């Protein structure tokens, strides 16, 4: 069982940074979902992330940093458009895939020549990262703090529910309340001439095209190019992921006794159990993972979801829900 820290003071963050320095794991809030953090330069600590998550090794991890000044040490090259994206959207729900430096070892990148980097927009995460950098740390590797293939946690309680049995006494869970965005960061491959979205999120195609003045690439994969998509393992892109215990059905008429998630404007069908009624697409993203968990708490067999339509964040929501619906 890990220790649970709420109302994190500067002292608590320094304690947590020290835990990372000595090789323990620290789960922490970000604006997207909670992360399970380890010192990104410590292979033993990073291998515990895989153990605790039950994640197959070889999947690359995102390195979190506090500020752009810590980026350079992790990468060997960055295109102009990626600098523009970093300046505009960091701290924020965006991960950039860049050519790695020597510091980004195979145990972080899954043996690929690229590394994923993100500056999260959450005061506790940034406080933890600053405290860790102050101790000489280079960055915190953190996947979402859930067991492999399951629903990402958006509260500290959900982290405890997912990983409590797998964390040890010296690991920590920082409680920063509910994540404000609720779906994982947009992952953008910045190793080609144009940005390419590997995982949709709250930083949308429209936003990327507007600030860079470039078209987001949708060109097919090419075998010859070392950095093309097919060489990149994105576990969040596996078909069955983000799945609760209940079976998820999309845009179908719910059966009696099943859970139901839809925008507030859609009435609850007779006999269904309303799990969430978000007022906007943003709120939909924020509450959808906790609503899926709520369905599992009620031991529901099935959860029916009326998906939000349209572009922007709705694309990320439908991406995750389509994978939830593939089951485990």
Which residues are at the interface with ligand TXA (CB under 6 A)?
30, 32-33, 35, 59-62, 95, 97, 109, 112, 114-116, 118, 120, 142-144, 184-185, 187, 198, 232-236
Q: Which single residue is written with the structure tokens 């992330």?
A: 49
Which x/- pattern over 127-146 shows residues binding Mg ion (rule: CB under 5 A)? Answer: -----------------x--
Report how far residue 64's alpha carbon sits from residue 142's, in angstroms, rounded to the nearest whole number. 7
Q: Which does 2 bind (CB under 5 to 8 A by kind): ligand TXA, Mg ion, none?
A: none
For residue 50, report the phi and psi dihedrals to the nearest 5 degrees. -65, -40
**Token pair belonging to 45:** 């600590």
Report in angstroms how near the CB of residue 54 gets to Mg ion at its nearest: 12
CB neighbours of residue 105 within 10 Å: 14
Local structure of 167: helix, strand or coil: coil
Q: Which does 204 bind (CB under 5 to 8 A by kind): Mg ion, ligand TXA, none?
A: none
Report how far residue 282's alpha carbon sits from residue 16's, in angstroms, rounded to the nearest whole number. 31
Q: Which does 232 bind (CB under 5 to 8 A by kind): Mg ion, ligand TXA, none?
A: ligand TXA
Report in angstroms how near the CB of residue 267 gets to ligand TXA at its nearest: 33
19 or 150: whose CB is closer to ligand TXA?
150
195 or 254: whose CB is closer to ligand TXA?
195
Q: Which does 62 bind (CB under 5 to 8 A by kind): ligand TXA, Mg ion, none?
A: ligand TXA
Report how far residue 190's alpha carbon sits from residue 80's, in angstroms, rounded to the nearest whole number. 10
Report in angstroms how near the CB of residue 134 gets to ligand TXA at its nearest: 21
Report how far residue 192's alpha carbon sits from residue 189's, in angstroms, rounded to the nearest whole number. 7
150 binds Mg ion (CB under 5 A): no
233 or 274: whose CB is closer to Mg ion?
233
Name the region of 7 (left: φ>0; alpha: ψ -120 to 50; beta: rest): left
Distance in Å from the first CA to the final CA of the chain: 26
4 or 148: whose CB is closer to Mg ion?
148
HSE-up (13 A, CA, CB side) for residue 95: 27
Q: Which is it for the CA torsion 77, 81, 83, 89, positive or negative?
A: negative
Q: Which does 216 bind (CB under 5 to 8 A by kind): ligand TXA, Mg ion, none?
A: none
186 binds Mg ion (CB under 5 A): no
Residue 91: asked if its preceding bond is cis (omega within 30°), the reply is yes
189 or 259: whose CB is closer to ligand TXA?
189
185 binds Mg ion (CB under 5 A): no
318 or 320: whose CB is closer to ligand TXA?
320
Report how far residue 84's alpha carbon sits from residue 168's, in angstroms, rounded to the nearest whole number. 41
Q: Write the DSSP string, 63-94.
A: EE-SSGGGTGGGEEE--HHHHHHHHHH-SSSE
Report in angstroms how near the CB of residue 223 gets to ligand TXA at its nearest: 17
187 or 261: whose CB is closer to ligand TXA?
187
Local structure of 281: helix, strand or coil: helix
Q: Which does 8 bind (CB under 5 to 8 A by kind): ligand TXA, Mg ion, none?
A: none
Contact residues toward Mg ion (CB under 5 A) are 144
């Amino acid at each position: 069982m890990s220790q649970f820290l709420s109302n994190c003071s500067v002292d608590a963050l320094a304690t947590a940074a020290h835990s990372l320095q000595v090789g323990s794991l620290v789960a922490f809030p970000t604006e997207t979902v909670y992360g399970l953090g380890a010192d990104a330069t410590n292979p033993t600590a990073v291998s515990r992330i895989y153990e605790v998550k039950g994640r197959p090794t070889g999947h690359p991890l995102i390195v979190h940093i506090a500020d752009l000044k810590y980026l350079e040490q992790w990468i060997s090259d960055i295109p102009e458009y990626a600098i523009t994206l970093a300046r505009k959207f960091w701290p924020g729900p965006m991960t950039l895939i860049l050519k790695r430096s020597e510091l980004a070892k195979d145990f972080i990148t899954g043996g690929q020549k690229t590394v994923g980097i993100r500056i999260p927009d959450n005061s506790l995460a940034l406080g933890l990262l600053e405290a860790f950098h102050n101790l000489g740390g280079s960055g915190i590797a953190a996947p979402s703090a859930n067991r492999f293939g399951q629903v990402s946690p958006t509260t500290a309680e959900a982290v405890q529910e997912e990983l409590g049995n797998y964390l040890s006494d010296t690991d920590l869970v920082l409680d920063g309340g509910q994540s404000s965005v609720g779906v994982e960061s947009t992952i953008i491959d910045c190793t080609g001439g144009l940005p390419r979205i590997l995982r949709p999120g709250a930083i949308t195609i429209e936003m990327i095209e507007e600030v860079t003045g470039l078209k987001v690439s949708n060109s097919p994969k090419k075998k010859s190019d070392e950095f093309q998509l097919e060489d990149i393992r994105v576990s969040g892109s596996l078909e069955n992921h983000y799945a609760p215990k209940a079976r998820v059905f999309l845009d179908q008429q719910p059966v009696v006794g099943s859970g139901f998630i839809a925008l507030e404007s859609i009435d609850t069908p007779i006999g269904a159990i309303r799990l969430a009624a978000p007022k906007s697409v943003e709120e939909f993203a924020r509450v959808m993972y906790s609503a899926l968990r709520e369905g599992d708490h009620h031991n529901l067999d099935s959860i029916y979801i009326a998906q939000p339509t349209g572009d922007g964040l709705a694309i990320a929501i439908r991406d995750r829900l389509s994978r939830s619906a593939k089951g485990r």
